[in-house]
A and B are shown apart, each in its own frame.
Chain A
Amino acid sequence: DSGVTQTPKHLITATGQRVTLRCSPRSGDLSVYWYQQSLDQGLQFLIQYYNGEERAKGNILERFSAQQFPDLHSELNLSSLELGDSALYFCASSVDGGAKNIQYFGAGTRLSVL
């Protein structure tokens, strides 16, 4: 167990809908990362937050948004869902968000868009 908690584990929804994925980082970690992993694909970096502020942005679609709250948990909002958004979404956390910090991954949320 990495100490990073993601909920829900599974999510099944329809095209056009909106969902929210939640992540609680390890105790003491200030930075949260979101990744998308499609079937048999690599890790696509979406976005990083540090202590409530956006720090780095990857290939995140405009339909997706995220935030990190004062208690450091983070939410990833996916809207106007398309079939191609079906994937495993990982959250990771690290101590201070520097690239040299170990990233601890959660177990992921598997999103299925039907």
Chain B
Amino acid sequence: GENVEQHPSTLSVQEGDSAVIKCTYSDSASNYFPWYKQELGKRPQLIIDIRSNVGEKKDQRIAVTLNKTAKHFSLHITETQPEDSAVYFCAASSKSNYQLIWGAGTKLIIKP
């Protein structure tokens, strides 16, 4: 079945360093890949997304890269700050294009 694997499950980085979270999807028909951030006790919110017709998208300190051949996409956060501490979820559109298949989440910890 359709599946999205997300790694690592927990990532601890020093403030100011970069963080990279990687997701691998199974369905080659997937063409939309969003990333959601969930701060402690809050609701998930979209932070960036990418469609399959581009290989990279940036928004200030965050970027997402997509490798369609290898069927993986990654979230890159540069110059990490304490407010980046959260759980990050990746997702990929399903074959039906109606729902998202979600990764299990990565808990990002920014060490002061």
Q: What is A's interface to B at a CB cutoff of 8 Å?
A: 2, 33, 41-43, 45, 48, 50, 55-56, 58, 90, 97-100, 102-103, 105-108
Contact = CB atoms under 8 A, between A and B. Distances in A.
A2 B44 CA distance: 10
Consensus secondary structure, chain A interface: loop
Interface of B: 31-32, 34, 36, 42-46, 49, 51, 89, 93-94, 96-100, 102-105
Nearest to B46: A102
Nearest to A2: B43
A43 B44 CA distance: 9
16 contacts: A41-B104, A42-B89, A42-B102, A42-B104, A43-B44, A43-B105, A45-B99, A45-B102, A55-B99, A56-B96, A99-B96, A100-B32, A100-B51, A102-B49, A103-B100, A108-B43
Given A99-B32, A100-B51, A100-B93, A45 B44 contact: no
A99 B98 CA distance: 5
A103 B98 CA distance: 12
A45 B104 CA distance: 12
A33 B99 CA distance: 9
A56 B103 contact: no
B44 A99 contact: no
Contacts of A48: 98-99
Contacts of B105: 41-43
Contacts of A55: 98-99
Contact of A105 (B44, B98, B100, B104): B44
Contacts of A106: 43
Given A103-B46, A107-B43, 4 more contacts: A48-B98, A58-B99, A99-B97, A103-B36
